[in-house]
Amino acid sequence: MRPADAARQLQYAVASQTNTYDYEVSHWEAHAYEDVFADVIERGELDDVMTVVETLGDEFSEESRPSVARARTVADDVLTADGRPLTDGGERADEA
């Protein structure tokens, strides 16, 4: 899956949850999260991407949109589930 495809899935999720047509969910709102989706695609699995899409879709409403920072938090939470730790790229424990 590409980040743009994940953004499109988010548009569909929001449209179905808020009873709006997908064109009413602005291009920016869906595509603002593409960097987050790219990271999840790179470090996770398709299920992880869909979990992020579903979680963000659930948080959209007529009055409120999750921020990009919130999307990053959701992605980080999904990626650390099941013991998949986030890393800063420092020394591994067996190298110390």
69 CB burial (10 A radius; 0-12, 13-18, 19+): exposed
Burial 82-92 (b: 16+ CB within 10 A, else e): eeeeeeeeeee
pLDDT tens for each residue of 12-36: 777 776 665 555 556 666 677 888 9
Task: Work out the pLDDT band at 85, boundaries 50, 70, 90.
Answer: low
What pTM, to 2 d.p., does this model score?
A: 0.70
